[in-house]
């Protein structure tokens, strides 16, 4: 059993269209998500919703999940053993949803999904071939909404530019 199970309020599995062409993957639930049982419902979630709506979609049109399904204590980054413990659940989500485009939100999700040590600032906005759990897709890393908020909005233009790229890529893939 994963050590996060002992500190969680509840499992935060995922939310959205089970047949979505576009899937967002963050690192793990925060305090609000742990309490409500839904990913990205706090301040970062509100920004993510605005960015999604800015490209003509709604949260109901996409699927939103995290690399780990339980809140890491103190909102720290998930550790390698925790990511490994949740990997079968994320794999099952990829198998069932079959997204054409996966967007990784922030460093931990991007590093985990792409199996890289490269940071988000070097990878954001680029397209990568992505294969997991027998499913092929395109993956585009972008900044985590909480990072955009912590930057005081200085990185909001970059995030919006990434979402324009996401919209164009999704149109090409669907």
- pLDDT band at 38; cut points 50, 70, 90: very high
Residue ranges of domains in the chain, CATH in brackets: 3-173 (3.40.470.10)
Cα–Cα dist 65/53, whole Å:
18
Work out the average pLDDT over 21-38.
93
Cα–Cα dist 130/126, whole Å:
12
Average pLDDT, the chain: 94
pLDDT at site 71: 87
Query: How confident is the model over 63-113, as pLDDT tens digits?
Result: 999 999 988 888 888 999 999 999 999 999 999 999 999 999 999 999 999
Q: Point out which residues pair with 25 in neighbouring strands.
A: 65, 104
């Amino acid at each position: 059993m994963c050590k996060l199970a002992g500190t969680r309020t509840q499992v935060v599995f995922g939310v959205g269209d089970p047949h979505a062409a576009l899937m967002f993957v963050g690192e793990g639930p925060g305090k609000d998500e742990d309490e409500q049982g839904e990913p990205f419902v706090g301040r970062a979630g509100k920004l993510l919703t605005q960015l999604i709506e800015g490209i003509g979609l709604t949260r109901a049109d996409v699927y939103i999940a995290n690399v780990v399904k339980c809140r890491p204590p103190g909102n720290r980054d998930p550790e390698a053993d925790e990511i490994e413990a949740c990997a079968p659940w994320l794999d099952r989500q990829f198998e069932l949803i079959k997204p054409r485009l996966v967007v990784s939100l922030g460093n931990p999700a991007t590093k985990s999904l792409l199996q890289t040590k490269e940071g988000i600032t070097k990878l954001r906005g680029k397209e990568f071939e992505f294969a997991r759990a027998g499913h092929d897709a395109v993956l585009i890393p972008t900044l985590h909404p909480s990072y955009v908020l912590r930057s005081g909005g200085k990185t909001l233009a970059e995030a919006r530019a990434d979402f324009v790229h996401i919209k164009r890529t999704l149109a090409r893939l669907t």
